[in-house]
Amino acid sequence: MQISMYQASAPRFINSLRNLSAILDRAKAHVETKKIEPTALIAARLYPDMYAFARQVQIACDNAKGAVARLAGVEPPIRGWWQAVRFLDPCSRMRLPRCDSGPSSRS
């Protein structure tokens, strides 16, 4: 049985983005419950040499977007990271397909 690169990778990205969406939902609820300034969490770093939270979310989304676009043989869309980050909700707005609904023409 052969498996395509799309079948091997796209479901992993979908799972990762769904997990990230759940984390973002929890972060948003935490901000609302504790009455924290949203920009404080968006700019937060767990360690000084890490990227800020917003940048890490953007990188995760760009990795998935870029890999799947390249597998489809198209150029990935390029946007500035500041355009991708909306208050704690950059990936959860995406319509994530079911893992088994990938294009059958990919190989």
pTM score, whole prediction: 0.67
Higher pLDDT, 30 or 84: 30
pLDDT band of residue 79 (cuts 50, 70, 90) is: low
Element (H, E) at 65: helix 53-71
pLDDT at position 105, please? 38
- Tokens linked to 53: 């939270």
Q: With a cut of 80, say whether residue 21 has pLDDT above it.
A: yes
CB 33 within 8 A of CB 98: no
Look at the chain and count its residues. 107
DSSP of 77-103: P---HHHH--TT-TTTTS-PPPTT---
- Residue 48 per-residue DSSP state: T
